[in-house]
Amino acid sequence: MSAPHLPKVAGIDPEVPVSTHTAAPLREIPAAPGAFIQDRLAGWVSDLTTLHELTERLAATATLDAALNELLHAGAALVGARRGLLVLERAGSTTPSTTLGLGLGPADLGHLETVERSATALGRILDGPPEAADARDGIATPDLLGDQDLDPRHREVATRLGYAASYALPLASEAAGRLGGAVWFYDEPGEPSEKQRHLVGLYARYATEHLARLTELERARADIATVADELLPSRLPRIPGVRLAARHRTGPQGGGDWYDALPLPDHALGLAVGSVGGSGPSAMAAMGRLRASLRAYAVMEGEDPVAVLSDLELLLRLTEPARTATALFAYCEPAARKVVLAGAGHTPPLVLGDRRCEYVETTLSAPLGMLACWEAPSVEFSPAPGETVLLYTDGLLRRTGDAMDRAFARLHSATASVPKADRHDPAAVTDHVLRAMLPDGLDRSDSTEDVVVLAAHFD
């Protein structure tokens, strides 16, 4: 007879022999083998995330000034400083240097400029050879006031401004070369850690590439604006009985909006505004040709605006059949206060006076180049003494971002809101209209549209 099986309790088989040796009780939980590595990885991820966020903010800047400000703030955060100074100064360039401060007023910058450049770390970076090791890695001065060899003037300025240490870093990369340098100031003796130096060095090299692109872009925009200004009147004519003012701004790519004012026989005056389709150098060249041709036609037959635009249409169709343009030409007799105008697909003028603000009713017409032969009847009106005729291009309307009907209403409201004290000054009228239409300013708008406003005030 077999022995009875013992019952199983809590999953333990009683037939399995129990060891007589017991392990010592655990007094502490051992650390995981990879805890140190995990901490290091977490630190790296945190640093890379911070660097990624700062570079994204820098990449979002569209102007050089905004990028320089962002670089100063980001660098101060990376090295743990409160104030800083940046100098943009390309070696061998004739472009004036740019100086920007963080937490430093104009008077503070003036004091810093009195220190000899060779006595400062930033000056040694800017004037030294680009391949110097300290210029590449940055120069830390952990205790300025404790340095016995410190320049006396530098010591005086540091004491006055209240900084005790500094860290200077070049703005340089292999592709862009050296664009300048930056220095951050500490209120107490100290210097950035090795990790901080590494991060700010990576950030500075990326920032240098971004600054180089923005510098070239702003230089190209300045060249385009210069060419556009050269293609427009250098000064407005002086005709008895009428005063003129004009405002013009070229888009970043260069456009084809233009204006003109030229004296004609018998003390008459020709006013014109227009826009050539497209952008860039080709549109600017076409704008120059169109304006020059209109001047010639205006001298020969300016008293008939329809004939002037008809000749312009024929010229455009024969020489540049793939291009379209809009134009408005007005023949003015200031003594008689008489204006005869014709438009080809262009926006109607506005008349502003003490008793009225209204659009001139012009005939509908297609732009130049849209028809085999352009011709539309002219319109004649008489501005009263003290009234201003406002001519403009559609870029002024498009820059608002509104639909065209709302943009027209907005322009009417902006013109009607000109203070009565300013309505006898054409320059004040144009400036008020631009401020009301584009409150962010012509330069701060990100629109690619050109803007032209031409005002004629009849005495």
Model confidence at 92: pLDDT above 60: no
For 204-254, write each residue's pLDDT tens digit. 999 999 999 998 888 877 777 777 777 788 889 999 999 999 998 877 666
Model pLDDT, residue 137: 74
Q: What is the pLDDT of residues 178-200, one digit of tens each?
A: 899 999 999 999 999 999 999 99
**Identity at 336, one-letter amino acid code:** A
For 58-224, CATH number? 3.30.450.40
Average pLDDT over all residues of the chain: 85
The answer to whether residue 87 scores a pLDDT higher than 90 is: yes
Least confident of 2-11, 124-133, 231-240, 441-450: 2-11
Domain 58-224 matches domain 232-458 at the CATH topology level: no
Domain 232-458 has CATH 3.40.605.10: no
pLDDT of residue 133: 43
Q: Which residue is associated with the tokens 């300016």?
A: 302
Q: Is the pLDDT of residue 127 over 90?
A: no
What pLDDT does residue 444 have? 53
Please give the pLDDT value at position 33.
53
pLDDT at residue 325 is higher than 70 = yes
3-class secondary structure per residue, 379-410: EEECCCCCCEEEEECHHHHHCCCCCHHHHHHH
| Band of pLDDT at residue 296, cut at 50, 70 and 90 | very high
Taking alpha carbons only, the member of 422, 341, 423 closest to residue 381 is 341
Span 274-279, mean pLDDT?
A: 85
Q: Which residue has the higher pLDDT, 398 or 137?
A: 398
With a pLDDT cut of 70, the percent of the chain lying above it is: 85
User: Does 443 have pLDDT greater than 90?
Assistant: no
How much is the pLDDT for 32?
54
Residue 9 has pLDDT above 60, yes or no: no
DSSP 270-303: EEEEEEEEEESHHHHHHHHHHHHHHHHHHHHHTT
Any idea where the domains of the chain sit in the sequence?
58-224, 232-458
Q: In terms of Cα–Cα distance, which of 51, 77, 72 is closest to 122?
A: 72
Query: What's the pLDDT band for 2 if we cut at 50, 70, 90?
Result: very low
pLDDT at 6: 45
Asked whether the predicted pLDDT for residue 108 surpasses 70, the reply is yes
Q: What is d(CA 436, CA 201) in angstroms, rounded to the nearest whole number?
A: 45
More confident residue, 313 or 225: 313
